[in-house]
């Protein structure tokens, strides 16, 4: 019956000419009393680089493992290219995985590791040989076919794991924190490398990571997960500029969040405790609510001496409590007259620097003022 | 690896402490040789003391000489000295004596003397060929049966036992709490003609109405299997335990069905344990005589029984020594190709 439903959906989608690579429909996974993934709906389009981003324990890896077939969902349906695969074993899914620990077979050479999947599918030897060589070339490991995994560096192993998965031309490639074990420099290189390979092979990548910078660098679409749910889904720039929840605002980059009174929801007029007027041009204010939480990114705030003209509309007076020069920018910590702590990053373009104790005006424009829901402080420091 | 280290270590001219060490080592070796071969002047130092002193001096001398020659980074060689001395004293020297004895002739009363009597070996083999064959047949079958029992058991404990893992391991080791002889004697009761095992098998028609279990080849082989099962189980368990579960997920992810994943991943990775387990079972089983003595009859006697009776009953030391040597060499001859075929890498990994 489920198969019939699956093929019907396939037919339907074929008519629309648009079958998503992966669909999760109301998927829940419980481990005992713990809900790892909570009633998740997710659609990942064809040929996208999709990132599942969140702190540890948010359910991102469980989501990936259910997609790969390593865990059975407690409830819900999973489809790959329109076909239901919810309870199919991993070896029956045209999905491949790059494991966090790489999981290379230690007793097999690099070449035989990469050939493993094709051998199971009875591809003939000459063809396997050709494709292994081609794939090792793609991941820049030509000539390493006869090495054993323990003779490789971390970055090389990572690329073998990638080649071993990609050689099967999976419909979807799942990557479970594949760069976690690499040092910073190698990680940056591999981010670019992965992105290049993805656009070259045109396969949907689902990449699980807790590193927001990594997600933003590589992914076309990011789903920010928290406590088994997707908090925000969209293009990196959209999520960054309008995180919508305080968790996302703090997890993806840094944010200054503050409680404000709503003066007029329709025009976006707000007021701080001391009566300072603020504006937002963003969405999210619900009519009838007396208070709201707003946020602004540290780099969107300008600092100026009190009395400077031509500043953006939202301006509050504050004292500098700390200043840290970090080369490309200077990071200031401010305490406003109403007690709000502000984190401000100023590019070192103007000669005008401030010192702790200075009284300044912190100003930003209404279009950089976003409205968030949820507890202020959520997601901070993760 | 070690070759690289040796090649990479710097050869500098010896330092003063190294020279002192070298001088000391030469002195120690000289003293050792003197004690060992020395003439009547050393008559007051006799027997065991003299032998032990000589060996200690030789080992110490060689060890410190090695350190002195190879440089200070070779201090680790000093760690070999206690073990090395032990092996020389209680393994190499008895072996040499055994070799000598195997070529002697004579009787206990008249004394044995060296006669280069190679016929001891041919006599040992021609007279006791049956027992030799039987030893390896029984040991081989017992090893195979033990492997068939131990592998699934170890697999279950390593992968499926969950929180009962430690309990099951303790149970595998439990027989060791009872002495070897008692355990085998207990089997006599289990396999007795009027015991419940024999009764049940008779009722099921598996053995004949007047059939026995005790005093048969089956009993001897079963006893060997039972006694050596932990030696098979533990190494296999250890190597299975080390198999990273994500490797099996990776195999499954790469379209391998469970049986294929076992054949291509689990089995090869557990082979070091299988090699170690079969060696630990086959070698002592081939030389065992307790099981054949207690559970069999002279018709089931193995080479161990013959050696035991030659040494302790007949007191024919030369033939007993020749038998021991032949057994040892046969085992070596069997093991070397086996270890080669399964790969030395496997043993190193175990």
Q: Which residues have CB under 8 Å from A360's CB, separation 6+?
A: A303, A304, A305, A306, A317, A318, A319, A320, A334, A354
The pLDDT confidence band at residue B77, using thresholds 50, 70 and 90, is low
Flag if A165 and B253 touch (Cβ within 8 Å): yes
**How many C-alpha atoms does A240 have within 13 Å on its Cβ side?**
15
- Span A313-337, average pLDDT: 91
Contact A78, A86 (CB under 8 A): yes
Task: Kindly list the domain boundaries of chain B, sorted by start residue.
Answer: 3-102, 122-349
Provide the pLDDT for residue B10. Answer: 44
Contact A81, A55 (CB under 8 A): no
Provide the pLDDT for residue A114. Answer: 97
Convert the pLDDT of each residue in A121-165 to its tens digit: 989 999 999 999 999 998 889 999 999 999 999 889 999 999 999
Provide the CATH number for the domain formed by A21-241 in this structure.
3.40.50.300
- Structural tokens at position A352: 């005008």
- Taking the C-alpha atoms of residue B295 and residue B285, their distance in angstroms, rounded to an integer, is 14
Strands (E), A20-170: 22-31, 34-44, 49-53, 75-80, 83-84, 95-98
- Neighbour-count burial for A319-333, b at 16+ CB within 10 Å, e otherwise: ebeebeeeeebbbbb
Residue A8 backbone dihedrals phi, psi, to 5 degrees = -65, -45
Any A CB within 8 A of B246 CB: yes
Residue A34 backbone dihedrals phi, psi, to 5 degrees = -85, 130
The answer to whether residue B348 scores a pLDDT higher than 90 is no
Any A CB within 8 A of B350 CB: no
When mean pLDDT is compared over B21-35, B106-120, B159-173, the highest value belongs to B159-173
What residues form DSSP beta bridges with A292?
A260
How high is the ipTM of this complex?
Answer: 0.83
* Residue A45 per-residue DSSP state: -
Q: Tell me the CATH number of domain A255-372, given options 1.10.10.10, 2.40.50.100, 3.20.10.10, 3.40.50.300.
A: 2.40.50.100
Convert the pLDDT of each residue in B80-128 to its tens digit: 777 877 887 788 888 888 888 888 888 888 888 888 889 889 888 889 9
Any B CB within 8 A of A107 CB: yes
Provide the pLDDT for residue B74. Answer: 59
Convert the pLDDT of each residue in A21-37 to its tens digit: 999 999 999 999 999 99
Judged by DSSP in three states, A233 sits in strand
The pLDDT confidence band at residue B196, using thresholds 50, 70 and 90, is confident
Convert the pLDDT of each residue in A165-177 to its tens digit: 999 999 899 999 9
- Structural tokens at position B50: 């003299």
Any A CB within 8 A of B173 CB: no
- Span B158-187, average pLDDT: 92
Flag if A120 and B255 touch (Cβ within 8 Å): yes
Flag if A117 and B257 touch (Cβ within 8 Å): no
The structure tokens 């200075």 sit at A358
Convert the pLDDT of each residue in B256-312 to its tens digit: 999 999 999 999 999 999 999 999 999 999 999 999 999 999 999 999 999 999 888
* Residue A373 per-residue DSSP state: B
Determine the distance in angstroms separating the CA of B272 from the nearest CA of chain A, rounded to an integer: 12
Flag if A89 and B252 touch (Cβ within 8 Å): yes
Provide the pLDDT for residue A63. Answer: 96
- Taking the C-alpha atoms of residue A70 and residue A64, their distance in angstroms, rounded to an integer, is 9
Judged by DSSP in three states, A280 sits in coil
Number of Cβ within 10 Å of residue A19's Cβ equals 19
- Residue of A104, A106, A69 lying closest to A90 (CA atoms): A69
Provide the pLDDT for residue A6. Answer: 44
Any B CB within 8 A of A99 CB: yes
Looking only at the bridges linking them, the beta strands covering A341-347 and A329-336 are antiparallel
Determine the distance in angstroms separating the CA of B264 from the nearest CA of chain A, rounded to an integer: 9
Task: Kindly list the domain boundaries of chain A, sorted by start residue.
Answer: 21-241, 255-372
Q: Tell me the CATH number of domain B122-349, given options 1.10.10.1590, 3.40.50.1370, 1.10.3720.10, 3.40.50.280.
A: 1.10.3720.10
Mutate to test the interface with A, among B250, B252, B265, B344 (most CBs of A within 10 A): B250
Determine the distance in angstroms separating the CA of B150 from the nearest CA of chain A, rounded to an integer: 23
Contact B224, B138 (CB under 8 A): yes
């Amino acid at each position: 019956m489920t198969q019939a439903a699956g093929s019907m959906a396939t037919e339907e989608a074929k008519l629309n000419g648009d079958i998503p690579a992966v669909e999760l429909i109301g998927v829940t996974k419980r481990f005992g009393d713990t809900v790892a993934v909570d009633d998740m709906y997710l659609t990942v389009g064809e040929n996208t680089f999709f990132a599942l981003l969140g702190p540890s324990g948010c359910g991102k890896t469980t989501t990936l493992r259910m997609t790969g077939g390593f865990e059975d969902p407690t409830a819900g349906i999973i489809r790959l290219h329109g076909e239901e695969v919810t309870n199919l074993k991993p070896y029956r899914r045209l999905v491949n995985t790059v494991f966090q620990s790489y999981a290379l077979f230690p007793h097999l050479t690099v070449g035989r590791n990469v050939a493993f999947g094709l051998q199971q599918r009875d591809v003939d030897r000459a063809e396997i040989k050709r494709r292994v060589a081609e794939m090792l070339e793609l991941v820049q490991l030509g000539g390493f076919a006869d090495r054993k995994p323990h003779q490789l560096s971390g970055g090389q192993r990572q690329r073998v794991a990638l080649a071993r998965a990609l050689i099967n031309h999976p419909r979807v490639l799942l990557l479970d924190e594949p760069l976690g074990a690499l040092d910073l420099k190698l990680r940056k290189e591999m981010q670019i490398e992965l992105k290049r390979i993805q656009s070259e092979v045109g396969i949907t990548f689902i990449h699980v990571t807790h590193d927001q910078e990594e997600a933003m660098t590589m992914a076309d679409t990011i789903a920010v997960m928290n406590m088994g749910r997707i908090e925000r889904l969209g293009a990196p720039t959209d999520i960054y500029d309008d995180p919508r929840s305080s968790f996302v605002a703090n997890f993806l980059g840094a944010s200054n969040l503050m409680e404000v009174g709503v003066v007029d929801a329709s025009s976006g007029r707000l007021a701080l405790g001391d009566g300072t007027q603020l504006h937002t041009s963003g969405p999210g204010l619900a009519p009838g609510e007396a208070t709201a939480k707003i946020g602004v990114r540290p780099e969107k705030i300008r600092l100026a001496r009190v009395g400077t003209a031509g500043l953006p509309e939202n301006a509050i007076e504050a004292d500098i409590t700390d200043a840290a020069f970090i080369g490309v920018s200077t990071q200031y910590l401010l305490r406003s007259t109403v007690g709000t702590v502000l984190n401000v990053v100023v590019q070192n373009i103007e000669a005008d620097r401030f010192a702790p104790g200075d009284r300044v005006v912190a100003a930003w424009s209404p279009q950089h003022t976003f409205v968030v829901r949820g507890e202020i402080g959520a997601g901070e420091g993760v | 690896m070690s070759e690289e280290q040796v090649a990479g270590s710097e050869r500098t001219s010896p330092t003063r402490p190294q020279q002192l060490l070298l001088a000391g080592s030469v002195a120690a070796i000289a003293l050792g040789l003197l004690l060992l071969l020395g003439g009547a002047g050393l008559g007051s130092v006799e027997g065991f003391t003299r032998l032990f002193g000589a060996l200690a001096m030789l080992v110490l001398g060689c060890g410190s000489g090695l350190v002195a020659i190879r440089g200070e980074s070779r201090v680790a060689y000093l760690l070999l000295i206690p073990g090395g001395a032990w092996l020389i004293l209680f393994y190499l020297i008895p072996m040499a004596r055994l070799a000598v004895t195997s070529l002697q002739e004579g009787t206990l009363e008249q004394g044995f003397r060296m006669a280069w009597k190679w016929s001891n070996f041919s006599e040992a083999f021609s007279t006791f060929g049956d027992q030799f064959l039987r030893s390896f047949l029984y040991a081989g079958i017992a090893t195979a049966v033990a492997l068939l029992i131990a592998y699934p058991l170890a697999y279950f404990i390593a992968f499926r036992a969950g929180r009962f893992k430690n309990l099951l391991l303790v149970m595998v080791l439990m027989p060791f709490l009872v002495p070897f002889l008692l355990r085998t004697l207990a089997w006599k009761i289990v396999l007795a003609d009027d015991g419940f095992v024999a009764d049940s098998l008779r009722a099921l028609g598996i053995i004949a109405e007047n059939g026995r279990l005790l005093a048969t080849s089956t009993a001897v082989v079963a006893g060997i299997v039972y006694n050596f099962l932990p030696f098979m189980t533990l190494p296999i368990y250890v190597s299975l335990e080390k198999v990273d579960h994500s490797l099996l997920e990776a195999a499954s992810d790469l379209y391998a069905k469970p049986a294929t994943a076992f054949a291509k991943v689990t089995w090869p990775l557990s082979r070091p344990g299988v090699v170690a387990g079969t060696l630990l079972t086959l070698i002592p089983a081939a030389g065992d005589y307790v099981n054949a003595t207690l559970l069999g009859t002279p018709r089931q006697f193995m080479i161990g029984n013959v050696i035991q009776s030659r040494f302790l009953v007949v007191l024919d030391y030369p033939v007993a020594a020749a038998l021991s040597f032949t057994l040892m060499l046969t085992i070596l001859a069997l093991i070397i190709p086996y270890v080669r075929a399964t790969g030395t890498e496997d043993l190193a990994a175990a």
